[in-house]
Chains A and B, each alone.
Chain A
């Protein structure tokens, strides 16, 4: 469902941040993306969501070459991808509820049709009490879970999470990992970027994609 072929990326005039990246993500698969800070994990995710065009190479998502997509098709493709950003990217003027409901709103669904769905998901990630709060008053861990809920709500075909346990204690990290495993079991392909070794050790079956020196090494 996702493949990179000889992808290279260069920011501005510097050297290549990523080079000769080749990999494939299968539907319903689970993988960790790891590597030292600055290795290019976030960059790789930005390439996948088409926030950035590759300097060279071919990226194929859901059977389509990303270079050939129109604005409308890019939007359509993104609706099949859930993203948890390293810096959350919640909208501060919307309540937690409205933030989480955003992908459904974008799908054109009526508020009344998803209210129960969103409320239940918020309870499931432990934000039931925070439904109407604004993100600005949430703790780091609460923001993280709100961002995760927003990525899950539409049950995307592909989920990308950038350091989803970066701001939480180990207990909460374990709970968050469980959320992703549940999602994975429900049929979503999951990519989690992290350098948290203990987190990765908790889910041994996962593939490991390791970025180092701009190249990608895969451990099945």
Chain B
């Protein structure tokens, strides 16, 4: 409903306004699209988003894989029975295994036969060697219950009592090392992620400053007609958020395509057999739903960050002017 102004016709024809309604184009943005160094900024944001998505997913992949590894290893312990002069190693192995089976928390104790122990050594000693002459230690692999883990101190004392020449290894040093390595890898990936975002922020900030400089005339006119600083800053925010969203969409979309392709290739590779070791290390190399969710969040986050950052830069610039 139009307010009556002194320039309004006294008798207003309704059809007049209807006729106007159709031919009105959408309101133009106050900050023109071509005044912002848009293309290069979109490219920078796309690349940075892609790299950030990669870093984030590497962190997730390593963190997940390390939980798996540590879980697998923690579910096992080994007893090594060493040959000792004057003792029957076969009997010792049987006694030790039996003692372990009696202990609560131990689900299974499997004795590696002489031939199996020797097979473990072939990679180091070469084939065709008669090891029966050598005093090879024998292994007992314990499968532990995950919920109700045995008390290793008691286990060790018990073992000491029945077979003094046996040693229990609960793998804790290995697990801790693995944990440290995984944490270091995740921390590195997180640092890379943060640095990428910081570099992106610097690019956005300088693009904003350039845009404010080229649009100085517009800013002046807006000021003269009474626009508050925040009104002007929001106009820039809108423009930059659109750019940020476009860049993030390209980069994030690229990252998703990259992971889908990697997964596909990994599957093909696994079929050839060579990938089995990789699979053992990293699972099936797939980025789960959490990985894709992170990329989607990253896209939204980058767009929002770009918008708010440029608004802040403009506000600070105007505040200095005033």
Contacts and interface: CB of A to CB of B under 8 A. Distances in A.
A91 B218 contact: yes
Contacts of A182: 6-7
Interface string B1-41: 11101111100000001001101110110101001000000
Given A75-B228, A76-B226, A78-B226, A116 B221 contact: no
Contact of B20 (A107, A114, A119, A150): A119
A103 B226 contact: yes
B7 A79 contact: no
Interface string A110-142: 010111110111001000000010000000000
Interface residues of B, number: 35
B57 to A, nearest CB: 41
Interface stretch (A31-39, A93-101, A167-175, A208-216): A93-101
B264 interface: no
A8 to B, nearest CB: 22
A116 B225 contact: no
Nearest to A93: B32
B228 A116 contact: no
Interface in B303-322: 318-319, 322
Given A72-B228, A106-B225, A116 B25 contact: no
22 contacts: A51-B224, A71-B228, A75-B227, A75-B228, A78-B224, A79-B226, A93-B35, A94-B30, A102-B222, A103-B226, A105-B27, A106-B226, A107-B226, A113-B1, A115-B20, A116-B2, A117-B3, A120-B5, A120-B7, A155-B5, A182-B6, A186-B6
B317 to A, nearest CB: 12
B229 interface: yes
Nearest to A77: B226
A106 B231 contact: yes
Given A71-B318, A103-B226, A182-B6, A132 B20 contact: no
A49 B5 CA distance: 25
A91 B221 contact: yes
A206 B322 CA distance: 35
B322 A71 contact: yes
Interface residues of chain B: helix, strand, loop or mixed (majority): loop
A161 interface: no
A187 B101 CA distance: 102
A89 to B, nearest CB: 5
A44 to B, nearest CB: 15
A102 B219 CA distance: 12
Contacts of A81: 226
Contact of A78 (B24, B27, B30, B223): B223
Nearest to A149: B7
A-B complex: 6 closest residue pairs judged by Cβ atoms: A79-B226, A116-B2, A78-B226, A124-B7, A75-B228, A71-B322
Given A71-B318, A115-B24, A120-B8, 10 more contacts: A49-B224, A71-B319, A78-B225, A79-B225, A91-B217, A98-B27, A103-B225, A106-B226, A117-B8, A119-B17
A77 B7 CA distance: 24
Contacts of A102: 221-222, 225
